[in-house]
Amino acid sequence: NAHVDELSAALLLGASLLGAGALGAGVLGSGVLGSGVLAGGRPADGPREGRRAASSGVLFGLAVATKLIPAVALPGMLRNRPWRFGAAALAAFVAAYVPYVIASGPAVIGYLPGYLSEEGDASGDTSRFALPGILLPPFAARVVGLAGVLAVWLWVWAKRRVLPPITAQALAVGWTLLIVCPSYAWYALMLIPLAVLGRRPELLVVPLALEAVTATVGTDAGAPVAKVSMAVAALVVLAVGFRRARSARPT
């Protein structure tokens, strides 16, 4: 079931590496992680940066056309030449998706109604937004959860000049998954390389938590397991983040 997610994750990773300037620097053989390109350095300004932003945008647009979920990384992508990146992404998405919409008509929706039914969205009986659902009833949890996702995206966007590009994307994706709590763990495939390259290994707990959610979805244990799994994952991410922030403070 995850084959399309693997393709979209690969396209998103390519877009992330291009946007960070890592592919142009030879990420596979020149120690880019150590040189700071992914860890916080900036690509050089000029025409090459513009071409890199456009190429990154094309791959990002194709990733979103393949599977809409990589769109959650967008706040972390808008660092260098955002207008050129956005225009290229939109053009790639339209070129890849609109012809399929024209050819397929309403069938382009595919199995989306089935997914919503399986996850309980049609009836309101769902483990989605399990984290705010620990304290809130389903509707309120959904509202607060969506507000939380928006807050994360705005924070990442506001910090786009401070955070390393791939770190920003990892945080946007990781916290979106933590708050939304999809029933399918393979949605977190795109997070794994971003967490590693963005030096946020604590975010790798999110795919593990979602595995527990997937294993129990549709059962009586589904909602409790989702709440516990997401709570533990969030605590791990927050604890490591606070410790990192304290270590970075001058003594």
pTM value?
A: 0.84
Task: Output the six-digit token pair for 94.
Answer: 């339209």
**pLDDT score at 91:** 96
C-alpha distances in angstroms, 121 versus 11, 73, 118, 139, 211? 29, 24, 8, 11, 20
Residues composing the chain? 251
Helices (H), the chain: 3-20, 32-35, 47-66, 74-77, 82-104, 112-118, 130-133, 138-158, 165-180, 191-197, 205-216, 222-248
Contact, 92 vs 65, CB < 8 A?
yes
**pLDDT score at 219:** 85
Please give the DSSP secondary-structure letter assigned to residue 79.
Answer: S
**pLDDT score at 1:** 54
pLDDT in tens, the chain (251 residues): 557 889 999 999 999 999 887 554 434 333 344 444 444 445 455 677 888 899 999 999 999 998 889 999 999 998 878 899 999 999 999 998 888 888 877 766 666 666 666 655 544 546 789 999 999 998 999 999 999 999 999 999 999 888 999 999 999 999 999 999 998 899 999 999 999 999 999 999 999 999 999 998 888 888 899 999 999 999 999 999 999 988 877 76
